[in-house]
Amino acid sequence: MTHDTQRISSRERILQRLRERHRPSSLPEPWETRRRFEDLAETFARAVEKVGGEAYLCDSWDEVWARVDALLREVGARQVVVNGEDTVSEVEWRERYPHIRWFYVGKDEGDLRAFCAQADVGLSGAVAALAETGSVILESGQTLSRMATLLPPVHIAVIPREIITTDLFTWTAERKGEMPAAITIVTGPSKTADIEQTLAVGVHGPKLYIVVVGP
């Protein structure tokens, strides 16, 4: 018996043993969270603040604009980069703030990286928000750049109330296996500590503001 034949026979013997020991299996039941929150939006806002971000619950778009106006004035925004999935239309942002230089990811021409590095604010929506941890989930794609939300010193996310869900497991179960190629889960501003455990917030990433709209 040649070496190759002996090797094939050994392989077949191993596979046969595996077949004989095969046991039927069933998939686990769909995830169902045991967490119950009386008000998802209120719980989400409190969780955001616990991790160092700021969240604002707005019942109307008039409230949203008032809050965004205040934030943009506070940071002295002159350049703003916007991800394409933003809740508000491109035209409305440009018309409402003509004194600001805007860059829409995937639509405007130019050096996106250079603009983001000089931008005062990154503006985005989100695909989901998690009440349990105060996180927002951002997708990446042709009109959705992680640079837009990570490079500027301030990140403002304007999100509809209906995308808030309980936790990460619930959100993934709701997607039913249809996941994007890349996501970013943002839970407050960046945090780091030195050897003496002195906490520094926002050193490696933007300050986070989340404006929630919807009754």
Per-residue pLDDT of 29-87, as tens digits, reads 766 777 788 899 999 999 999 999 999 999 999 999 999 999 999 999 999 999 876 66
Nearest Cα neighbor of 92 from 54, 122, 65 is 65
24, part of any domain: no
31, part of any domain: no
Give the mean pLDDT per block of 10 residues along the chain (215 residues). 59 82 71 80 95 94 92 95 76 86 90 95 94 93 88 94 92 81 85 67 78 91
pLDDT reported for residue 201: 64
pLDDT reported for residue 108: 87
114, part of any domain: yes
Total domain count for the chain?
1
17, part of any domain: no
Nearest Cα neighbor of 204 from 50, 52, 49, 48 is 52
75, part of any domain: yes
pLDDT reported for residue 182: 85
Containing structural domain, residue 153: 38-213
Nearest Cα neighbor of 120 from 201, 188, 207, 185 is 207
- C-alpha 196/C-alpha 214 separation (Å) is 43
pLDDT reported for residue 137: 95
- C-alpha 192/C-alpha 205 separation (Å) is 11
- Other CB atoms within 10 Å distance of the CB of residue 165: 21
16, part of any domain: no
28, part of any domain: no
1, part of any domain: no
| Token duo for residue 87 | 């809740």
Nearest Cα neighbor of 155 from 182, 113, 116 is 116
pLDDT reported for residue 31: 65
List the helix and strand counts (H, then E) for the chain.
7, 12
